[in-house]
Structure 1
Amino acid sequence: MISFRASPARSNRSAALAAAALALGLAIVPAGAAEHGDGHAPPADSHGGHGAPAKPIEPLPVKARGLPVELTRTLQLLQDRIARGSTQAHLAQRQLLGHIEQRLMALDPEAWTDAENVRAAVTFALAGGGPAALRALLKSGKAPEAEQSLALGALAYLEGREREARAKLAGIDPRTMPSGLAGQLALTQSALMVREAPAKSLELLDLARLLAPGTLVEEGALRRQIFVVAQGGDARRFEALAIQYLRRFRRSVYAGNFRQRFAGALTRLDFDSDRTRIASLERMLDEIEPESRRDLYLLVSRAGLEQGRRETALFAAERAMGLAAPDSQPAAQARLYRGASLIVADGRFEEGYEALRGLDRAEFAASDAELLDAALSTARQIRTPSPVAEARPAPPPSASRPIPDSASLLRAQEALARAERAMDGATGIP
């Protein structure tokens, strides 16, 4: 009797894929299932008899992929579900990353003689897997010479050695890389150039989106692109890109982070000095459902107050009020932001002051309660100037009088600044 037994390598690979597929919620089809169908005898010919057996179909000449390639593709499938909003996939990602790292670290050093495996390991590392597998790969001394710059550049990037990473990766065209790595590499090159050459960085983000459509790489590239454009003050392109993101990726697991920074970016585009941009803001926010639109208007209004953009803050607060139930917490927030905007608006001080006086401090979270205190303090100073202020010459008329910075506003501004610095030096997709 002849027994057939899978080789140890194939068993290990099947076990690894099964574990990875479990994280994805996918089913693994047993080997040979497609070949043998459901186990029944082949059907008779069309005339009811049993003619000559059909000639077997020759298999396509598809090259078997190495374990690093298979595992990296599984990770990318999981991450693409994260871009579509799967919180389960997001929770499973850490476990899958750890599993893949262990499998790559345990590979025989000879596996790294295959350039395809080296590129898969680089893809894994840049997609969130970290530098450990790349260190093991390079330590083996088996990687082909042609792949050395790629692996060394990726490792330098992940370890924060940006100058070395730029030198190693600059000469590599992402379009020559496998599809799984191409977009990821363009995204990495863009992050390395965003400070020194923002225009080139934007080109690379365009390329990343082109090379990896519908993936987490495209979601991350589009998200970064929006904020690079905002820093450059290109309102028209900012609007076009933001609408694309809100239409296609608004359910992404990372969309919450996007909305916080999006609100800050909106106010930096100076809606106060260009009224046509108010219509632009409406067009962008009309892309999302009413409840999320209300919350985003509140974020924009609060950011407007923090940055002294009174017109933007007032406009966004009034739009949020129209989308909130009258007695709800969002409605109270909108009234607070509207009142704080009105006390520094020409001819509308009393309206704003009365609105603020009618608010219950206990209804608000700590940061909004501090804002209410700061706004009321400012209003009282405006209504009853101090003797020292009366003795001073009156300042020239101003279109707006910003609310003095409270401790909460200063903290918020510092947080926004830190977020911008983090964006400039980000080392991963999110």
Structure 2
Amino acid sequence: MKARSIIGGAIALLLLAAGSPSAAFAQDVLQPYQLVRSLQLIQDRIAGGDHAALPMQAKLLEMIDARMRDANAEDFKEPKNFRALLVYGMSGGNPVTVAAAASRAMTDPQSLAIAKGVVAYLNGRPANAIEMLKPIDPMSVPPDIGAFLALVKGSLLAADDPAQALALLDEARLLSPGTLVEEAALRRSVGIAAAQGDAARFALASTQYVASYLYSPYASQFADAFVSGVITLHMAISQDKIADITSMMDPEREKVIYLRIARHAAIDGMTELSAFAAAKAELGRNGGGSQDDPRSQLYSSLSTMTSASVDEVRAKLGKIDRGKLSQNDRDLLDAAQAVAGEVGAPGKTPAKG
């Protein structure tokens, strides 16, 4: 009930700000922590697939930025307001606003260190951010900032200490389940696990993401990481496990994923994986797909270039409707036909002296 009242108040403010020239009045009605809490609730709706909430998020970020710029030392005597400043920063806020607001606040050294680390992170200075944030345990601070702190630290350490990064992302999920924080933590875990060669962790994170956040507006980033991970881990992850994960998707998304896997695998010479993915895309779920998609026909043909006869491959390639392919795939088709033509060309007779 309390969460509904806060977000209801925020929505009322958004409507007021949109319809009145006095948006500043709307911003002043709620404390900074109330505005930030409203932002988090809206972001959680977005993570669950409510794309219509995206404009509300943008407007709330504008209002929070203005409210934080106007906040004074008295406002930040309320610890929840300073923590709200940190959450705003770690949610992608304006680093100039965060730095200026923090400079006016009288708070404990650890909170100020977090603020400095967040500003460094937002300004693209990862080394400085790690230096400031590394000593601070996300599990030791209030949960409303601990989850965001774990997410930021996990992101910062992904390249240099991936094992620690995964542990931090787990903490972020533990502290903030069912939120945009968990969505981002799972999404980033997929890529890190693949880079680490950890097929089991990759499959688990992918399964958890698809189960909860498939319709997030950021799911395209997960799809990129998943396809790339399947290619990277093709020797370690079974086709059955891939099928288990994709079976949780709606049929259209599943088909797109398989087409992308088939294309990447074909280009990289992974004929078995390419053939599997192309067949999955072509047949569809429960064998009810269409075999007329020129993309699946192309990738399937590429996967058989080293096993089928040249005449069979050329025949299959010749039947593909190139007009329905993207330019990149038309280039791929041209290259495949050129290779098939070279292989099938009769040998030249040596010139007589």
- TM-score band, normalised by shorter chain: 0.7 to 0.9
CA contact (8 A) 2:32 2:81 kept: yes
Kindly indicate whether the alpha-carbon contact (under 8 Å) linking 1:82 and 1:252 is maintained by their aligned counterparts in 2.
yes
Contact 1:187–1:208 (Cα < 8 Å) also in 2: yes
Distance 1:76 1:220 in 2: 13
Q: Is residue 209 of structure 2 the alignment partner of residue 215 of structure 1?
A: no
Q: CA deviation at 1:16?
A: 6.5
1:372 aligns with 333
Q: CA deviation at 1:346?
A: 2.3
Counterpart of 1:92 in 2: which secondary structure? helix
Rounded to whole Å, the distance in 2 between the matches of 1:163 and 1:198 is: 15
Aligned with residue 18 of structure 1, among 12, 23, 26: 12
The answer to whether structure 1 residue 204 and structure 2 residue 168 are counterparts is yes
| Residue 333 (1) aligns with residue 295 (2) | yes
**Structure 1: distance between partners of 2:10 and 2:219:** 31
The 3-state SS of whatever aligns with 1:260 is helix
Shift in alpha-carbon separation, 1:145–1:263, aligned structure 2, 3 A = closer
Alignment CA distance shift 1:17-1:270 (3 Å): closer
Match of 2:265 among 296, 304, 321: 304
Q: Which has the larger radius of gyration?
A: 1
Give 1:103's match in structure 2, choosing from 59, 67, 71. Answer: 67
Q: Which amino acid aligns with 1:198?
A: P
Cα distance, 1:131 vs structure 2: 1.0
Distance 1:95 1:348, change over 3 A: farther
One of 382, 396, 399 as aligned partner of 2:343: 382
Query: Root-mean-square deviation (CA), in Å?
Result: 2.5
Cα distance in 2, alignment partners of residues 350 and 124 from structure 1: 62
Counterpart selection for 1:342 from 276, 282, 304: 304
Deviation at 1:251, TM superposition (A): 1.2
Any conservation in 2 of the 1:20–1:71 contact (CA below 8 Å)?
Answer: no
Q: Which of 278, 281, 303 lines up with 2:239 in the alignment?
A: 278
Pairs within 5 Å for 1:110-259: 110-140=74-104, 142-259=106-223
After TM superposition, give the deviation of residue 66 of structure 1 in Å: 7.5
Q: CA deviation at 1:244?
A: 1.2
- Relative to the length of structure 2, the TM-score reads 0.86
Where does residue 81 of structure 1 map in the other structure? 45
Mapped to 1, the partners of 2:336 and 2:173 lie a distance apart of: 44
Query: What secondary structure, in the 3-state scheme, does the structure 2 residue paired with 1:308 have?
Result: coil
**Which one-letter code corresponds to 1:346 in the other structure?**
S
SS in 1 for 2:92: helix
Q: Distance in 2 between matches of 1:187 and 1:337?
A: 38
- 1:349 shift after superposition: 3.7
- Give, in angstroms, the shift of residue 386 of structure 1: 7.1
CA contact (8 A) 2:14 2:56 kept: no
CA contact (8 A) 1:341 1:352 kept: no
Please, which moves more after superposition, 165-174 or 144-153? 144-153
For each residue in 1:71-104, what CA deviation from the matched residue of structure 2 results, as whole angstroms up to 9, or x when unmatched?
A: 1101100110111111111232222211110111
TM-score when normalising by structure 1: 0.71
Number of matched pairs: 328
Amino acid at match of 1:235: A
Asked if the contact 2:187/2:209 (under 8 Å) is kept, the reply is: yes
Q: C-alpha distance in 1, partners of 2:16/2:143?
A: 24
5+ residue gaps, structure 2, are 1-7, 18-28
More helix by share: 2
2:313 to 340, 352, 355: 352
Contact kept in structure 2, 1:321 and 1:334, CA below 8 Å = yes
| Residues 212 and 108 of structure 1, relative CA distance in 2, 3 Å threshold | same
Q: CA deviation at 1:292?
A: 1.6
Q: Relative contact order (C-alpha < 8 Å, sep 6+): which is higher?
A: 1
Pair 260,15 (structure 1): closer, same or farther in 2 beyond 3 Å:
closer
Taking the aligned partners of 2:48 and 2:9, their CA distance within structure 1 comes to 27
Q: Do residues 315 (structure 1) and 276 (structure 2) align?
A: yes
